C-alpha cells in the first residue's frame, strides 16, 4: 500500500468515529442527568409549564426520533439556538463571539512549546551532559510538574503586583492592558492592536502550553540522542556530508517522527482551551462557554460544542496522519507505521 493510499484510508476511517462520538454525546445528553426543561423553567416553575416546555422541545418523542433529528441537524450544521445560557441566540453566533478567543489562546499555546520547547530539546540532545543540557532537562521537568491551575493563579498574583516585585507595571508595559480580561481581537493588522492582543493572551498561553513545552523538550532531546548515533548518520558523516546538513536533513527530520503524535495530540487540548485557565484569566472562550452550557443544562449548546470539538479532534488526527505521510516515507508500507 502506497503512503497516500494509507493516508486516504485513515481519512475514511474518521467518518465512523464522528458518528460514534456524536452518538455517545446524544446518549449522555438525553439519558444522563441533564434536564433542559427544568433548567429553562427554573425552580419556581409549575408542573403544567414544565410539561409544556418538554412538549415544545420534543423531549417527549421516542428516543430514536430525537436521535435522528439530532444527527440530521448536526450533520447539516444546523446547530440551533441556545436554550438557557443566552436564550434564543444562534449557536453559530455564540461560537463566532467566543471561538476566536480560544483559537487565539490555542494558537500561542501551541506556538510557544514548538518554538521554545523543541529547540531547547534538540539543543540539549546535540550537547548531552553539558551545563546547558542539565539546565534544559531540569527546566522541562519543572514545567511538566507544575499544574496549570496553580501556575495560572501564581501568574495572576505576580503580574498584578509586578510594580512592587520587579519595578514596572505589567498592565502599563509597552501597551496598556488589563491583567485579567478577554483579548481585544479587533484590528489585529494594526501593530498596536496586535501587540495588545498578544500581551493580553501571553500569560494564559504560557500557562496552558507549559506542560506541552516540558514534554516536547524531553521527547525532543531523547529523539535527537537516538538518531545521533544511528547508522545512517554515521554513514553520512563518513561520506563527508557537512555537519549542518547531517543535523538538518538526517537527524532533525527523523527526530520529528516521534514528536508528531505528541504535538498533534496536545494541540487538540490546547485549541480546545482549558476551562480553568480561561476562567482564571477571564478569557471567556469556548471552554468557558462549554462549562456554562453544561452546568445550566443547555442541551443544544452542549451538543453543538461537543460536535465541533469532535470535528476538531478528527481534523487534528488527519493532520497527524498527513504529517506522518510527508515526514516518514515508510508510512503505508508493510502494514503502515
Mean pLDDT of 250-272: 70
> Do 216 and 231 fall within a single domain?
yes
Residues 62, 209 within the same domain: no
Q: What is the signed CA dihedral for 174, 119, 212, 180, rounded to 10 degrees?
A: 0
Of 255, 253, 291, 263, which Cα lies nearest the Cα of 275?
291
Q: For residue 8, name the pLDDT band (cuts at 50, 70, 90).
A: confident
Asked if 286 contacts 105 with a C-beta cutoff of 8 angstroms, the reply is no
Q: Are residues 124 and 254 in the same domain?
A: yes
Give 176-220 pLDDT, tens digit per residue. Answer: 888 888 888 887 888 888 988 888 888 888 888 877 788 788 888
Global pTM reads 0.78
How many Cβ atoms from other residues are within 10 Å of residue 104's Cβ? 22
pLDDT tens digits for range 302-336: 889 888 888 888 887 787 777 777 766 665 544 44
Task: Specify whether 257 is located in the same domain as 312.
Answer: no
In a domain, 38, yes or no: yes
- Asked if 208 and 221 count as a contact pair (C-beta separation under 8 A), the reply is no
Per the model's pLDDT, the better-predicted residue between 187 and 161 turns out to be 161
Domain assignment present for residue 258? The answer is yes
Q: Does residue 149 belong to any structural domain of this protein?
A: yes
**For residue 288, pLDDT beyond 80:** yes
154 neighbors 207 (Cβ within 8 angstroms): no
Q: Which residues lie below 8 Å from residue 82, measured CB to CB, with a gap of 6+?
A: 88, 89, 90, 91, 94, 293, 298, 300, 301
Task: Give the separation between CA 59 and CA 51, rounded to whole angstroms.
Answer: 10
Q: Residue 92: what pLDDT?
A: 92
Q: What is the pLDDT of residue 56?
A: 77
Q: Are 326 and 320 in contact (CB under 8 A)?
A: no
Other C-beta atoms closer than 10 Å to the C-beta of 307 total 23
The total number of residues shown for the chain amounts to 337
DSSP code of residue 133: H
Express each pLDDT in 32-42 by its tens digit: 777 777 777 76
Flag whether 90 is in a domain. no
pLDDT tens-digit readout, 47-66: 777 778 777 777 778 888 88
Range of the structural domain that residue 307 is part of:
1-85+296-337
| Digit-coded pLDDT (tens) for 81-132 | 888 888 888 999 999 999 898 888 888 888 888 888 888 888 888 888 888 8
Could you tell me if 68 and 169 lie in one domain?
no
Residue 91 domain-assigned?
A: no
Structural domain contains residue 93: no
| Average per-residue pLDDT for the chain | 80
Number of structural domains in the chain: 2
E strands present in the chain:
none
Q: Is 290 exposed, middle or buried (0-12, 13-18, 19+ CB in 10 A)?
A: buried
Q: What 8-state DSSP symbol labels residue 6?
A: H
Residue with grid cell 519543572, as numbered in its chain:
142
Does residue 79 belong to any structural domain of this protein?
A: yes
Residues 64 and 102 in one domain: no
Answer yes or no: is pLDDT of 272 > 60. Answer: no
What CATH number corresponds to the domain at position 199? 1.10.3720.10
309 and 288 assigned to the same domain: no
Assigned domain for 250 exists = yes
Asked if 282 and 193 sit in the same domain, the reply is yes
105 in the same domain as 81: no
Residue 44 binned pLDDT confidence (cut-offs 50, 70, 90):
low
Whether the per-residue pLDDT at 257 is higher than 60: the answer is yes
170: its cell numbers: 505589567
Non-local (6+) Cβ contacts of 2 within 8 A are 332, 333
| Residues 320 and 225 occupy one common structural domain | no
Report the half-sphere exposure of 24 (CA within 13 A, side-chain side).
8
Do 301 and 231 sit in the same domain of this protein? no
Residues 317 and 240 in one domain: no
Amino acid at each position: 500500500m502506497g503512503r497516500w493510499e494509507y493516508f486516504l484510508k485513515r481519512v475514511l476511517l474518521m467518518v465512523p468515529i464522528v458518528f460514534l462520538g456524536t452518538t455517545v454525546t446524544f446518549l449522555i445528553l438525553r439519558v444522563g442527568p441533564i434536564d433542559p426543561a427544568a433548567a429553562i423553567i427554573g425552580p419556581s416553575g409549575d408542573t403544567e409549564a414544565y410539561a409544556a416546555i418538554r412538549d415544545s422541545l420534543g423531549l417527549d418523542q421516542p428516543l430514536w426520533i430525537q436521535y435522528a433529528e439530532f444527527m440530521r441537524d448536526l450533520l447539516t450544521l444546523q446547530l440551533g439556538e441556545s436554550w438557557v445560557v443566552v436564550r434564543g441566540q444562534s449557536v453559530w453566533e455564540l461560537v463566532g463571539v467566543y471561538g476566536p478567543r480560544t483559537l487565539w489562546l490555542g494558537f500561542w499555546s501551541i506556538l510557544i512549546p514548538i518554538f521554545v520547547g523543541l529547540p531547547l530539546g534538540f539543543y540539549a540532545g546535540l550537547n548531552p551532559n553539558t551545563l546547558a543540557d542539565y539546565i534544559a532537562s531540569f527546566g522541562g521537568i519543572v514545567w511538566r510538574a507544575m499544574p496549570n491551575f496553580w501556575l495560572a493563579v501564581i501568574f495572576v498574583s505576580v503580574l498584578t503586583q509586578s510594580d512592587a516585585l520587579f519595578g514596572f507595571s505589567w498592565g502599563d508595559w509597552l501597551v496598556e492592558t488589563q491583567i485579567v480580561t478577554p483579548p481585544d481581537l479587533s484590528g489585529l493588522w494594526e501593530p498596536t492592536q496586535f501587540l495588545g492582543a498578544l500581551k493580553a493572551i501571553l500569560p494564559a498561553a504560557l500557562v496552558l502550553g507549559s506542560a506541552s513545552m516540558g514534554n516536547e523538550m524531553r521527547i525532543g532531546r531523547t529523539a535527537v540522542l537516538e538518531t545521533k548515533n544511528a547508522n545512517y548518520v554515521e554513514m553520512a558523516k563518513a561520506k563527508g556530508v557537512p555537519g549542518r546538513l547531517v543535523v538538518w536533513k538526517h537527524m532533525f527530520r527523523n527526530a520529528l517522527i516521534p514528536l508528531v503524535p505528541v504535538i498533534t495530540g496536545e494541540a487538540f487540548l490546547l485549541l480546545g482551551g482549558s476551562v480553568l485557565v480561561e476562567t482564571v484569566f477571564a478569557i471567556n472562550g469556548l471552554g468557558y462557554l462549554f462549562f456554562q452550557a453544561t452546568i445550566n443544562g443547555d442541551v443544544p449548546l452542549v451538543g453543538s460544542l461537543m460536535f465541533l470539538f469532535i470535528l476538531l479532534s478528527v481534523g487534528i488526527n488527519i493532520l497527524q496522519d498527513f504529517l506522518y505521510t510527508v515526514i516518514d516515507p515508510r508510512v503505508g508500507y508493510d502494514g503502515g507505521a
